[in-house]
Amino acid sequence: MSLRSPEQRMAELRETIAHHDELYYRQAKPEITDQQYDELKRELADLEEENPLLAMMDSPTQKVGDDRSEGFQSYTHRERMMSLDNTYSGDEMREFLARMERELERTELTYFIEPKIDGLAVSVTYENGRMVRAVTRGNGIAGDDITANARTIRTLPSQLQADAGAPIPELIEIRGEIFLTNEEFQRINEEREEAGEALYANPRNLAAGTIKQLDPTVVAQRKLEIVLYGRGYTEPVAALPETQKRFFDWVRAWGLPTVANQWSAHSGDEVLAAISELDDLRHDLPYPTDGAVVKLDSVALQRTLGATSKAPRWAMAYKFEAERAETELKSISIQVGRTGVLTPVAELAPVQLAGTTVSRATLHNRDEIARKDIRVGDFVSVEKAGEIIPAVIAVNLDKRRPECVPYAFPEACPVCTAPTVQLEGEVAVRCPNLECPVQVRRRVQHFASRACLDIEGLGEAMVDQLAEKGWVKRLPDLYQLDRENLLTLGKNVGKSTDKLLAGIEASKTSELWRFIHGLGITHVGAAAAKDLARVFGGLRALADATMEDYIRDKETVISGIGSTMAEAITGYFAVEANRAVIDDLITLGVEPETPNSEGGGTKFAGQTFVLTGTLPTLTRNEAAEMIEAQGGKVSGSVSKKTSYLVAGAEAGSKLAKAEKLKVQVLDEAQLRSMLSGD
């Protein structure tokens, strides 16, 4: 029996929930499952009901979690954006429906049921049919303005379609959810696994982290999706239909993406039957869903019921129990990635989970194993994180046997036996040996991949052979391969050998950004590689760059490259072996194509532009591409080095800073005039 008083327990719960709110809403890195979090809030709500004098106005049970973060301008919703009460119980769902019947004094009500998408809540504003803003829920009153990032979502139209049966209001806030499809989530994690990088836990966390990136080009690389389903502030108020189902039809008629499955119901039995049907379907849906949302269909009756301080009284989420299975942890294997990261993997006694047989699960990193005290021989709970990646959630201590001892993470690389290292500020443990066979294979595979140099004939099987023979230990070795050696790899390989050598030779003049991306520098993806290529113009100049070339007077010099990435780049070239790779590549005749070297314009060479606000006809990405095509540089922040600020509607703080620094401000028409040579 607990000796803590209700007051002590409530204080402890408030502190614990605040900690998990920070991890979930702001960092998108939760440590516990949704169900564990909901249990904490339910316990606090029960204690508040039993001890009303100890309840607090700012209790986590009375407010929406706040997802706002630094780097984004806050915008106030015209109409409060609420959360939803939820339940895991069919009986509680029936009681919710019965409560609405009692309060409305009606027994014949219609309910609308839809899948609950596991993503990031967003409100998109359209004025006269044109998209002008996208804002996260934030604290329900104000959220982060993520308009530039939302415009990269290919399924989100900038203009609503006209439809005679669905007139477009003068102004409307439409609520929805930003998410990643299961397929895209798997693609991203497969790339990270190939690189030996830590896997993302689930699609929701990755989607939330992606939409909060400060560089829209990074956001565009991950194919975010959106569905829209809720009504917010509208002018005129009477412009929308009077049922939830009919509103769905209008949203679809406007050309907006909505969830594919909806149900109508007229009783508790029909509501639970629809939820059960969705539960059967959800594993085959293309998007992650963790439950069903049940809404009163009549908008007029919704208004009658009203809302609490955080949630409407006419809607509730039914959340599915997380699917878990218990099995024995047979062993822990270690995978070594392209960058030398050692990733632990749980080897399990096969167990059925969510319709598939699971025999392996991610353990993330050394710290995660220690935090959960996971030991070989333990019986562990396995859950499909985001219904995709199996993960070890907890250990059944009641079944722990005396022979289960704490796991000792390898102090040497399991492949090459080099002593492992852990860089300051990182959780990853690495093999520092650049000639580690596994690293060599994966580094060369990455270099030759379609995303980088795209060398035809240099696939995984060929790379394995070259590494096994010892002919390729470093990237420059590719450009010194001997034809006679290659001919010994099999019969009738003359044509394929010549094709491979021709592909390698042709790669010498590939675009500079492809070489930079191919080097495999930590944190440097394709978008950052293009920025680096544009700024430095050559491999040698990039290798010689210092931190001052990236961060000056505490300000980012190159758009999209902050201090973390800058430290990774300069740290990479501080290693003599990495500099030697660049020297040898150049000696062997590698001459990358530099930006604008063929056909590009130079009208804006040496000039830096910043884009802000909503332009009349161009998206920011389109404007940026036009500027870069003429040799200009596009930055994300205004500084003394900014040549021009291109400002559209609702330009905000960047316009104020530009005026303060006396930076010349252009509108879209003036930018187009400059582009045309006027």
Amino acid at the residue 281: L
User: Is 116 annotated as catalytic?
Assistant: yes
Question: Token pair 């201590």 is at which residue?
Answer: 397
Amino acid at the residue 163: D
Count, in order, helices (H) and strands (E) of the chain.
Answer: 23, 22
DSSP 443-485: HHHHHHSTTTT--TT--HHHHHHHHHHTS-SSGGGGGG--HHH
Question: Token pair 């979090």 is at which residue?
Answer: 37
Burial 284-320 (b: 16+ CB within 10 A, else e): ebebbbbbbbbbbbbbebbeebeeeebbbbbbbbbbb
Is the Cα dihedral 427, 432, 434, 439 positive or negative?
negative
> Are 125 and 171 contacting, i.e. CB atoms less than 8 angstroms apart?
yes
Amino acid at the residue 322: A
Dist. CA 355–CA 202, nearest whole Å: 18
| Helix-helix angle 437-448:460-469, to 10 degrees | 140
Is the Cα dihedral 207, 210, 211, 217 positive or negative?
negative
If we measure between CA atoms, which residue out of 220, 224, 192, 193 comes closest to residue 208? 224
Dist. CA 407–CA 410, nearest whole Å: 9
Q: Which residues contact 445 (CB under 8 A, 6 or more apart)?
A: 194, 338, 460, 463
If we measure between CA atoms, which residue out of 343, 326, 342 comes closest to residue 394? 326
Phi-psi region of 599 (alpha: psi -120 to 50; beta: other; left: phi over 0): left
DSSP 350-387: EEEETTEEEEEEE---HHHHHHHT--TT-EEEEEEETT
Phi-psi region of 625 (alpha: psi -120 to 50; beta: other; left: phi over 0): alpha
Is the Cα dihedral 244, 246, 249, 251 positive or negative?
negative
Q: Dmax of the chain from CA atoms?
A: 89
Q: Please identify which of the residues 116, 295, 384, 530 carries the catalytic annotation.
A: 116
635's tokens? 């930055």
Report the catalytic residues.
116
